[in-house]
Amino acid sequence: MRFSYILATSLLAASLQLASGDLIAQKVKSASFSYLPEKSDDRYNQRVPSKTLILPGGGFVILAHKAAGEYTIERYDADLKRLWSAALPLTSDQAVDGFARSAEQAVVVVYQKEGSVQTLSAHTISLANGQKSGSKKLIETGSRDRRPGVSFSSDGTKLVAWRYLTREAQIKAISATVFDEKLQKLKDRTYDFHDQGGFFSTTVHVGNDGTQYVTLVGDEMKKLTVRRYRNDSPDIKVMSVSVGGTFGGKVVNVFDSRFALQPDNMLYAAAICNERESGLYHSLKVIKFDFSGESEMKFAPEVKFTPEYLALVNKASGATAKRLEDVYLTDLFLTEEKQLVVLAEKKFEEGGDDSPGHTRELHVFGYNEFLTPSWQRIVAKDQVAPAAEGFSSIGYRAAMFGSELQLVTWEKIKGKSDLYLRRLNGQNGAVQEPKGLGLNVAADQNPSYVKDFTGWLDAKTIVGVSALAKNLRP
């Protein structure tokens, strides 16, 4: 079995041979690439977490910050040959808020706050020749309103842009517009939340067919709700399930949640619930929302965070924690057999706004195709980044191939700073020990580009960036 790692920056590349569980790296390809690390006012919320988009026909397209006030969109083939480059100049009032691609083009969404208005606009870039369209305004709102949002379908052919309608800082509705990949308007929509009370959270998802799924955590953070809005019908379908409540005299509510819309419009949700008064983690709950046919929900048996579970975490991580803390949901993946893998990660700061950020162990939960819990794993890791980086340079990148989940991290293990690969079996949770890719990624002060530009061309080939040139430092 052969595994290639194509790495860019200077673009260094290495081929990794897997034999008898050993990983041997050798250089295979390289290409020139320059990048200026970005600085963000919100270092904990990356609006464009991945700047490498893999193309189904081979190769990839990247969004690169070349200089202050200038990005470029570039296409490379599988041999690291650059096919074209399109410049995207930005003013000091603008920022990139979205990056996606369909089979024919890439789309870059630009946020701007100027004077009394905030706007989201978009450019399309042809994947065939790099031709860039003019700016198309998607949505506009007042400068004092909440920041507008945008979401893409999984195949990049649809996007929805929205603004919040509020009263005394409380969301009362969302005004949204659905577009096709050519940025032609398909539908204007208003999602009304006057029935939601005083405190809830909401997100808008869009399917490949343009259907919108508005997800809500409401009822004092006890209930998960999904509303479906079609473009060809005024009817709204709603499904709700209570995951919190009072158990054993203790009020339990949603601490963290994540929704994942699949290409077939099946929607999975995971929620970590905790005790309101003590903050103690209570359980993980998973739901499948199926709007096809008569519309059905599948509610998985809860996974409780017992003292025995905490003991497993401490054993795997080498810690002596008295309780679970700072664990947040990060990803939901489906195997080719429709088994669900849920990932959560421990994230925290040492203390204070200017303290380093840490990400530690991964909590991984496996469910069979009937949504029955089948295994649990704790994947130990230890990552740290300077305060200026927030969590943008640490964490992980992951991709599912068949029933195998591949995890790549940048960390320092046994004194060696490198990119490390872990393989996890989605059927039984078996996980391999981390294997260094032999790239000796420098532990410098701006390593976020390492995670930003990591992606999979296929199950055997990863593309990414390693800082070898001094011009990568700000």
Q: Is 470 left (phi over 0), alpha (psi -120 to 50) or beta?
A: alpha
Q: Are 176 and 191 in contact (CB under 8 A)?
A: yes
- pLDDT the model gives residue 13: 37
Convert 12-21 to b/e letters by CB count within 10 Å (16 or more is b).
bbbbbeeeee
The whole model's pTM is what?
0.92
- pLDDT the model gives residue 401: 96
The first and second tokens of residue 182, run together, are: 């050519």
What CA–CA distance (Å, rounded) separates 466 from 35?
11
- pLDDT the model gives residue 474: 31
Q: Are 114 and 134 in contact (CB under 8 A)?
A: no
Q: Is residue 474 packed enough to be buried (19+ CB in 10 Å), middle (13-18) or exposed (0-12)?
A: exposed
The first and second tokens of residue 86, run together, are: 């399109």
What CA–CA distance (Å, rounded) separates 433 from 202?
38
What CA–CA distance (Å, rounded) separates 216 from 259?
10
What CA–CA distance (Å, rounded) separates 194 from 189?
15
- pLDDT the model gives residue 164: 95
What CA–CA distance (Å, rounded) separates 248 from 300?
21
Tens of pLDDT, residue by residue, the chain (474 residues): 344 445 444 434 333 333 334 554 445 566 777 777 777 666 667 788 889 999 988 899 999 888 888 999 999 998 888 999 999 999 989 999 999 999 999 999 999 999 999 999 999 999 999 999 999 999 999 999 999 999 999 999 999 999 999 988 889 999 999 999 999 999 999 999 988 877 789 999 999 999 999 999 999 899 999 999 999 999 999 999 999 999 989 999 999 999 999 999 999 999 999 999 999 999 999 999 999 988 899 999 999 999 999 999 999 999 999 999 999 999 999 999 999 999 999 999 887 777 888 999 999 999 999 999 999 999 999 999 888 777 888 899 999 999 999 999 988 899 888 889 999 999 999 999 999 887 766 665 566 777 888 889 888 888 877 665 443 333
- pLDDT the model gives residue 25: 46
What DSSP state is assigned to residue 323?
S
The single-letter code of the amino acid at 17 is Q
The first and second tokens of residue 248, run together, are: 């054993």
CA 425 to chain CA centroid, Å, is: 21
What CA–CA distance (Å, rounded) separates 470 from 446?
12
Backbone angles phi, psi at 232, to 5 degrees: -105, 10
Whole-angstrom distance between the N-terminal and C-terminal Cα of the chain?
39
